[in-house]
């Protein structure tokens, strides 16, 4: 029996996701303001936080506008984003601005774009489209699997000079989406073997490349760096040093603080200072001494300000709620494409958050990943906002609030090649 749904009822996006977004906005404004003491110059105390608030507002606009777009159009966007992202990453590789020892950004019409953040969204859109189009009766055909592996390989290669974390993130996203998409386990096992071989090949290749220029991890990019057109730096020694430090059994408090481990030590001090209950927002002691306190290491400042329970565990639960809510939305979809979109974006956001938290608390080796929708930074906020907008679009057009499938999803809203049924068989 088909269920008729009014236009007004059908178009209501998920209020729980909106609630999580608002919570992240509030945490972002409070904690970035607490952590920007290193950026304050002269008497202009409020300029950095005003700029950050404007970025968050622009992210809100992106989320809202994206949520109004029917999710079927994201297939078209995926085809446009793949070549544009490849061009962006190649441009950064050759002409990008050097930050912390690697080319990470490029200025386009006066706007600084970080290629890795754009690539994360692109790969989710692309994999959702590919996996939805290549569904077979009990899984995904080999063409779809090869496309996914190819996309991960290409994007990882283009981000090679920026570190290994993005590659691990791409692999994690692709494996999760293939599981959701119903890829058979023997194919998934073969894919993992391919990833291992590629990783070993990369590790061997990077050893053959000599660093062109060495510079401290915490050094900020300067105008001179941009003007000199620094060559691409492959930081093989940096990766080896980080892994060596990570597996060193010596307790952190017994190690001497150097420029190489300054971030880890200051982050540990911040979290220890915060303890269980925290010192209160704005009372951080380490924000002025911790490099990247407002971006990659803001989680340490959050724990220092709000404590382990509210700041540490509370924020972790907020991100995990995104994944839980996305799972409920995916269950209510009748088609594979919206289910893959909403779960893909949720996995991307949550995995990045987990990577950031694990790095800050010392579970993973040091690397650079912003905390989604909280860390200071334009491209990251815009791309994460777009990801949330995609999730809201699916919740608006693919399901109704009561959990009943809407009639229009079974008719002509989706192209014929995206009509495959939800592979989770939970709808």
**pLDDT above 60 (res 408):** no
Residue 147: closest CA among 191, 202, 100, 81 = 191
- For the stretch 254-305, pLDDT in tens is 666 667 777 788 888 889 888 899 898 888 888 878 877 788 889 999 999 9
Q: What letter does residue 181 receive in the DSSP assignment?
A: H
Residue 343: closest CA among 334, 357, 330 = 330
Is the distance from CB of 178 to CB of 141 less than 8 angstroms? no
Identify which has the larger pLDDT, 207 or 420.
Answer: 420
| C-alpha to C-alpha distance for 264 and 148, rounded to whole angstroms | 35
Residue 38 pLDDT grade (very low, low, confident, very high; cuts 50, 70, 90)? low
pLDDT the model gives residue 225: 41
pLDDT the model gives residue 233: 42
Is the distance from CB of 17 to CB of 395 less than 8 angstroms? yes
In 75-219, at which residue ranges do the beta strands (DSSP E only) sit? 97-99, 102-108, 111-114, 135-136, 139-140
Residue 202: closest CA among 243, 155, 164 = 164
- For the stretch 309-333, pLDDT in tens is 999 999 999 999 999 999 999 988 8
Angle ∠(305,310,315) on CA atoms, nearest 5: 100
- Choose the weakest-confidence range: 115-129, 337-351, 370-384, 396-410: 396-410
Q: What letter does residue 397 receive in the DSSP assignment?
A: H
Is the distance from CB of 106 to CB of 88 less than 8 angstroms? yes
Residue 250 pLDDT grade (very low, low, confident, very high; cuts 50, 70, 90)? low
**pLDDT above 70 (res 246):** no
Q: pTM for this one?
A: 0.85
- Choose the weakest-confidence range: 9-13, 91-95, 220-224, 257-261: 220-224
Residue 118, Cα to own-chain centre: how many angstroms?
Answer: 9
């Amino acid at each position: 029996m088909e269920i008729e749904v009014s236009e007004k009822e059908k178009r209501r996006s998920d209020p729980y996701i909106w609630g999580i977004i608002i919570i992240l906005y509030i945490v972002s404004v409070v904690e970035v303001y607490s952590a920007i003491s290193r950026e304050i110059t002269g008497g202009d105390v409020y300029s950095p936080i005003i700029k950050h608030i404007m970025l968050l507002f622009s992210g809100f606009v992106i989320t809202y506008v994206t949520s109004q777009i029917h999710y079927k159009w994201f297939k078209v966007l995926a085809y446009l984003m793949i070549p544009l992202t490849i061009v962006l990453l190649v441009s950064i590789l050759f002409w990008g601005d050097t930050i912390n020892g690697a080319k990470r950004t490029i200025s386009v019409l006066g706007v600084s774009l970080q290629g890795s953040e754009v690539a994360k969204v692109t790969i989710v859109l692309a994999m959702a489209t590919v996996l939805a189009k290549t569904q077979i009766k009990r899984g995904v055909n080999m063409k779809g699997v090869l496309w996914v592996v190819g996309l991960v390989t290409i994007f990882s290669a283009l981000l090679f000079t920026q570190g290994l974390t993005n590659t691990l993130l791409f692999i994690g996203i692709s494996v999760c989406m293939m599981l959701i998409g119903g890829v058979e386990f023997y194919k998934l096992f073969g894919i993992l073997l391919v990833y291992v071989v590629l990783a070993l090949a990369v590790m061997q290749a990077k050893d053959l490349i000599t660093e062109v220029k060495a510079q401290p991890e915490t050094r900020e990019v300067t105008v001179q760096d941009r003007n000199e057109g620094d060559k691409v730096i492959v930081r093989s020694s940096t990766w080896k040093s980080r892994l060596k430090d990570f597996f060193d059994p010596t307790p952190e408090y017994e190690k001497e603080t150097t420029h190489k481990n300054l971030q880890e030590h200051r982050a540990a001090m911040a979290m220890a200072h915060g303890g269980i209950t925290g010192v209160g927002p704005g009372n951080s002691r380490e924000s002025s001494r911790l490099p990247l306190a407002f971006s990659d290491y803001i989680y340490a400042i959050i724990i220092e300000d709000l404590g382990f329970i509210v700041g540490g565990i509370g924020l972790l639960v907020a991100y995990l709620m995104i994944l839980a809510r996305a799972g409920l939305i995916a269950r209510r979809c009748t088609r594979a494409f919206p289910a893959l979109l909403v779960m893909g974006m949720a996995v991307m956001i949550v995995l990045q958050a987990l990577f950031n938290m694990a790095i800050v608390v010392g579970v993973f080796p040091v690397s650079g990943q912003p905390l989604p929708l909280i860390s200071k930074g334009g491209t990251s906020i815009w791309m994460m906002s777009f990801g949330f907008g995609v999730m809201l679009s699916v919740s608006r057009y693919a399901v109704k609030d009561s959990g009943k499938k809407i009639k229009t999803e079974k008719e002509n809203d989706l192209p014929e090649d995206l009509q495959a049924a939800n592979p989770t068989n939970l709808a």
